[in-house]
Every structure is written in structure tokens, then in C-alpha cells.
Amino acid sequence: MIIVKAKYLITNPECCIENGAVAVKGTKIHRVGTFDEIKALTSIDKIVELGNAVILPGLINVHTHLDLTNLHNRIKPTSNFTHWVFQIVGARIRWKEDDYISSIEKGIDLCVESGTTTVADIANTEYSFSVLKKSPLRKVVYKEVIDLNPDHAKDVLKKTQSELSTIIPDDLLSIGLSPHAPYSVSRELYQTIAHFARETDTPVCTHIAETWDEIEFLTKGTGSFPAFLRQIRALSDNWQAPGLTPIQYLNETGILRNHSLLIHCNYVTDEEISVIKSSEASVAFCPRSHHFFGHTNHPVQKLLDAKINVGLGTDSLASNDTLSIIDEMKFLFLRHSILPNILLTMATINGAKVLGLESKAGQIKEGFEADLCGIRLPDAPVGNIVTVHPHLNLPHQGGGIQGDNKYSPPLVGGVRGGGELLRNIYDQLLDTTSKNIFTMVAGSICYQNQSG
């Protein structure tokens, strides 16, 4: 049995234990409590002392493209999405197998080092499955599907099934499908995938409502996408716009009936939010990638107010500077003034629900999988929250819970100092100098920074 202890333990966003400890037996969480309680257990093989740190549930990244990791700092920021796509294609045009594999491996390492224990990754190549399967991460890997020709729908699904038949899921690997987006997938292919996924209980995700160009493409058949798609010979001359908004379009195809993961939702109306709510779909919000492209304010608060399940993603290093969910939380706290307990919920409990893991991950709870991270807290908190992307051009200082943004959650379990203590811990957690020093997945220590 392994005991992990630290100055603080947050078992879920509303419960803090001072001098907390987690007893891990095999892959599961065996006991949770104060260290004085846990050290009385028998058969302790190892005690991991994290010191001035807070133990959190392992962080869950609900949207990544790990195969793009090696494009970090090689893609220029742009508000023109098709220009960004051309940059990606050009940067990878000479990549070989080793390039893709090293990019995915580096992405895995960065995730683990930042305290992420579960990822939802988009597999654009066959390498993602093989490399991620060997990794210590818990993962849902979505096979990306692209084809705008409506006559190809059944053959594309058949080919995809054949490719996936060689991949064996295990305790850490689940397989999903990702019809890429409405400008790269035909209505018929969406419908075919939706039907297949419902029959086989296969997870589905799709990029949606990401740009104004996408909305113009679907509603009017104009904008930059038709010319771009015809340039690459992906769109037929007789294609007709459906005359629907992105969420209306997905609803018509049946994809929303799959409790799908909707990636981005940068531009959705109040009516569309109601449709998402009714469908019980979840949303992946990638805050710093959203800002990289210069999008206007994300409707994240409206989605949360509507009780829609929203998880946090990083997207790829082609539009971000780190793969750290903690960094996404810091950015959101500064830019959107979302309460710290809500941020942690999005990064853990909501993420688990997005991926169908809510009964075994997202909280530190007896019987749950032992997915943990340990965040080193500042020895002398400076109260600053800094953005990490050089192109974001944001103020460099923020901090604390300000104005009317008050936080007084119910607390249980070994807390001294009540709500004030938890507020203080969250302030330290979101401080610019906090960093992950420990990651455990399924009871195995994947990362430990001894120096802190």
C-alpha cells in the first residue's frame, strides 16, 4: 500500500483536509483522511511526502491533438482559420513516422508532468492509438473521420471500423469516433456515424461552432470555407448549404442524440444552448486556444448557468503554449472571474462525466481509481496569476477572489479555518508560481519532481 500525503488534500472542489493523505491499494483509492488517521493502517509499503502541496484529483484534459505537439512556436497566430490550417499542412508536409511518434510522445510527457491523468485525444494518424496505448495516461482516443462526399459515407465508416478492429481497448484506453466538423464531414457521414455509435455505444466528439466562417458556410454557403474546400478538391460544385446554424445542423444529423462531446462551441445562440441542454451533450472549452485565434467572448458562463456539462481542454500546441489544465484554470480565473471551485469542477468532475468516467475518476474517493496529482504551493504566495502564451498580450497580474466573486462552499473532513482556509488554498493553487510535482494514474507513480 502507498500513502500519499501533503499539507492539504482537496478530495473534491468543496472538501479540503488539512495534513491530508490518500492510501492507495493496487489501482484504487483505499482510504482518505488526515495523515494521523491513514498512518494507522497496516501493510504500508511506501509513504510519498509532498510537503507544501495540495493533492488534487488527477486533472482531465477533454480535448487534445497530441500529434501536433512538435508544432509548438512554429505556427503564427492568426484570426484566419483556413490560413492556420494551411500552416499546419505545410509544417507537416515532410513528416515521417518518427516525427509523428515523437510529437505524440512529447505531448504525453507534457501532460503527465503537468498533472493530467486523463486525456481525450484526436487521432489523425494511426500512430496515436499505438503510442498512447503504451502510455501511462488514462485516455479516450477518438479516430478522426473526414469526408465531404455524401456517396462515400458507408464506405468511410466500413474502412474506419476495419482500422479500429485491430486496436484492443483496455482499462486505460477507450476508443471513440470524431467526425471532424461540418465543413469536413458530409451530412450523410454524420448520420451514418451517429447510427453506428448509438448501436455500439461508441463515444463521439466533433468540432462545432468554432468560427464565424463555419456559421456562414452552413447558413449561406459563403465565406472562406467554400473556396478553401474547392481548392483542395474536397467540396463538389453542386454542394448546397443546409441553411442551418451549427447546432441545428448537428441536431438534424442525429449526432446530438449520442450525448456527444461538442468541441469549442465558441459561437452559439441562446436557442442553441437550449438544444445542447436538451440533448445532454457536453462541451469542451479550450480557453487559451480560443484566445489564440482572437475569438470574441466565449459563452462559457451561459453554458454553466444552463447546467450544461463543460470540461476543460488545451487543444494542441499549434494554438497554445502548454498542455497544462492548471494553466487553463489560471487563465480563466483571470479572464472570466470564474470561481475556483467551479474551475476545479470543470477540470475534474465535469471532465470525468464528459468521458463517461464519473463513477471512477474525477474525485478522490474510496473505491475510485487512484488518479492523483500534487501541486506545489508557493512558499510565499505573490497573489499573481500570469498568462503563459507570449501572443496573448494580457495583463501580467491578477489574483485572489475579487469584488462580488465570493466563495463559501460547504466544507467537511478535517478542515480547520472553514471557508477562509479553502479560499487561501485556491489562491495559492492559482498563483503563478504553483506547479505540479506529482502524478499518479491507476496507482502507479508516473511523475515526481523531487526538487519541487
Q: Which pLDDT tens digit goes with each residue over 356-376?
A: 999 999 999 999 999 999 999
Q: Where are the domains of the chain?
A: 2-58+365-448, 61-354
Q: Which residues contact 290 (CB under 8 A, 6 or more apart)?
A: 264, 266, 298
Question: In this predicted structure, what is the pLDDT of residue 381?
Answer: 53
Is pLDDT of 6 > 70?
yes
Q: How confident is the model over 237-249, as a mean pLDDT?
A: 93
pTM for the whole structure: 0.92
Is pLDDT of 342 > 50?
yes
Q: How confident is the model over 423-446, as a mean pLDDT?
A: 96
CATH class of 2-58+365-448: mainly beta
What value does the mean pLDDT of the chain take?
90
Q: Which pLDDT tens digit goes with each residue over 152-189?
A: 999 999 999 999 999 999 999 999 999 999 999 999 99
SS3 assignment, position 145:
strand
Q: Which pLDDT tens digit goes with each residue over 289-322?
A: 999 999 989 999 999 999 999 999 999 999 999 9
* Rounded Cα gap, residues 112 and 439, in angstroms: 6
Is pLDDT of 414 > 50?
no
Q: How confident is the model over 29-56, as a mean pLDDT?
A: 95
Is pLDDT of 193 > 90?
yes
CA dihedral 227, 231, 235, 238 (to 10 degrees): 70
CATH class of 61-354: alpha beta
Question: In this predicted structure, what is the pLDDT of residue 289?
Answer: 96
Question: In this predicted structure, what is the pLDDT of residue 234?
Answer: 87
Confidence band, pLDDT 50/70/90 cuts, at residue 407: very low
* Rounded Cα gap, residues 288 and 389, in angstroms: 8
Q: What percent of the chain has pLDDT over 70?
A: 91
SS3 assignment, position 400:
coil
